[in-house]
A and B are shown apart, each in its own frame.
Chain A
Amino acid sequence: MDVILTPFLIAALLAGLYMAWNIGANDVANAMGTSVGSRAITYRQAILIAAIFEFGGAVVFGKHVTETIRKGIVDPKYFTSPEVLAFGAFAALVAAGIWLTIATWARLPVSTTHSIVGAMAGFGIAAQGLGVVNWGKMSKIVASWIVSPIVGALVAFILFTGMRHFLLKKVDDRQRVERIFGKFQIMTACFVAFAHGSNDVANAVGPLAAALTFSQGTAVEVAAKLPVPKWLLAFGGFGIVLGLATWGYRVMGTIGERVTQITPTRGFTAEFSAASVVLANSQIGMPISTTHTLVGCVIGVGLARGIKALNLKIIRDIILSWLATVPFAALVAAITFKVLMYLR
């Protein structure tokens, strides 16, 4: 489609870039932390891998979740003016960005996914009331947040128990096995980056796609049917890589130093399970948190007695993130939306 570049659209692109930058800076570092922690790859290599595969995942599989964010949470059919939708999506982007910045500053465990889902719902409610939110879809999304870490834990538990039983018990040279799995971990790191790109690029591109398609002067029902342009997914992928290169470097370094006690066999198991779960969710268009899924998987390996010490306070943080992020992101989005509409 031909895009008319308005000042509004430029502002939206910048906001989208900021979101993508945030995702690249924080989220990717979390996702790749286990690979770096087990010394399977250096953090420079992790960044290179992430750059290629995040981009690839975003462009190849990023469409489904993007569609969910664009029109699955707030149902466009309730809106007569496409501009309100475009403005709302823009407000959601800005709000999620603000919320993420506040939360990072306050050291709250937040997820970009939860922020953007909350923000989209928040703008919808502020614009047209509770009725515009697709609660059926919304409850499925929230359920996926609870289910995905649990499924991740289960997959990792079964995978590690199986590996232990059929593989690790049979070999004599433990060091050699760990070395081989270190090599496997390079592949799973690629897999994680790919899966992450496929799911999380939508957090930036979803609202951006809405802002773009609804600001082109066509009627709502026509705009809603427009496909998400590939270049927009690529743009999101670029933003993620940018965040990774400028700031993720730092975050990844810290995580790599902090997480030192996961060995390649364990890291492989956790990553492989997490990436599988995330990719499956991407395919069915469910926006889930890669970080939470990975945490679930690491706990799964721990439950299979694979890790020396796990801090289970992380579970409390995750639940807090579910309970706090969505309503707060929604509130910030509602306020941002009202302010923007007033300024218009």
Chain B
Amino acid sequence: MFAPSPFEPLEEHVKIVRQCSDLFREMVVAYLDKDFERSDKIALRISELEHEADKIKNHIREHLPRSIFMPVDRGDFLNYLREQDQVADRLEEVALTMSLRRTEIPEELRDDFLDMAKKVCDVVDLVPLAVRSMIELLESTFRKKDSKVNLYISLLNEKEQLTDDLDLKIRKRIFDIEDKLTHGELFHLMRVVKLLARVADHAENCGDRMRVMVARL
């Protein structure tokens, strides 16, 4: 009568997402320090973790047939899962794209680039916190008003906004110094910044999907 709960594997999955963002922070530091061997190694590790996350995602989907009844809507749950998985996918993509080319980040961009990477990871790190508080909400007493879920969801919205601002600012900067850059550098930097912003987008989407999911509680 009791089916295995999908919420514990969901939390396992988000823990991997969190590991990815921790590694990505290290990777950016190494990349800016031109320690490209180290950054490549970290990118591969992120790629491995993303694969693990995929496995958990598939496991959850396989064990969630239509006959399973949950406190949240099954469709909402699966939509949320897809978004959470996208965060890992996009982190992997930006990490691998960075390691495609050993671009030395120009001095003018270094601080903003580091700042942006950190802020994107900060957004990502809100997702596991939101998941935890959602699970606590389910386990406990449905005191949604006092639950931190809503707090984390609105924080996700706010913090993502910061990365959007930075995204625009950096891309403008890149064009400001376009004469100093080769075509390869220009293209690579633009691409990396764009992908970085997308990671935060998906983390924010997690919040929005979660809002839908817990709306009925």
Chain A residues in contact with chain B, CB under 8 A?
A: 37, 164, 168-169, 171, 174, 177, 258-259, 261-263, 295, 298-299, 302-303, 305-314
Contact = CB atoms under 8 A, between A and B. Distances in A.
Contacts of A302: 69, 71
Contacts of A307: 2, 71
Contact of A309 (B69, B139, B140): B69
B143 A169 contact: yes
Given A305-B217, A311-B68, A174 B140 contact: yes
Nearest to B217: A305
Interface in B3-62: 3-7
A258 B2 CA distance: 8
Contacts of B2: 37, 258-259, 261-262, 298, 307, 309-311
Contacts of A295: 1
B1 A309 contact: no
Contact of B5 (A169, A174, A308): A308
Interface in B65-117: 67-71
Given A164-B141, A169-B141, A309 B5 contact: yes
B7 A308 contact: yes
B214 to A, nearest CB: 11
B71 A306 contact: yes
A174 B143 CA distance: 11
Contacts of A309: 2-6, 68-70
B142 interface: yes
B129 interface: no
Contacts of B5: 261, 308-309
A308 B138 contact: yes
A181 B10 CA distance: 28
Nearest to B72: A305
A270 to B, nearest CB: 10
A168 B138 CA distance: 12
A37 to B, nearest CB: 8
Contacts of A262: 2
B212 to A, nearest CB: 15
B141 A171 contact: yes
A6 B70 CA distance: 57
A310 B141 contact: no
B131 to A, nearest CB: 14
Interface in B133-148: 138-143
Contacts of B67: 311-313
B141 A308 contact: no
11 contacts: A164-B142, A168-B141, A259-B1, A259-B2, A261-B4, A298-B1, A302-B69, A308-B7, A308-B138, A309-B2, A309-B5
Contact of A310 (B7, B69, B139): B69
B17 to A, nearest CB: 21
A310 B69 CA distance: 5
Given A310-B69, A311-B67, A305 B1 contact: no
5 nearest A-B pairs in the assembled complex, by CB-CB distance = A168-B141, A305-B71, A308-B5, A311-B3, A309-B3
Contacts of A177: 141
A40 to B, nearest CB: 16
Contacts of B1: 259, 295, 298-299, 310-311, 314
Contacts of A169: 141-143
Contacts of A174: 139-141
Nearest to B1: A314
Contacts of A308: 5-7, 70-71, 138-139
Contacts of B69: 299, 302-303, 309-312
A261 B4 CA distance: 8
Contacts of A311: 1-3, 67-69
A168 B140 contact: yes
Contacts of B3: 309-311
B145 to A, nearest CB: 9
B66 to A, nearest CB: 8
Nearest to A312: B67
Contacts of A259: 1-2
A302 B69 CA distance: 8
B139 A263 contact: yes
B144 to A, nearest CB: 10
Contacts of B71: 302, 305-308
Which one of B1, B142, B143 has the greatest number of beta carbons of chain A within 10 Å?
Answer: B1
Which one of B4, B67, B68, B69 has the greatest number of beta carbons of chain A within 10 Å?
Answer: B69
Contacts of B138: 305, 308
Contacts of A263: 139
A171 B142 CA distance: 12
Nearest to B216: A305
Nearest to B138: A308
A277 to B, nearest CB: 17
Contacts of A313: 67
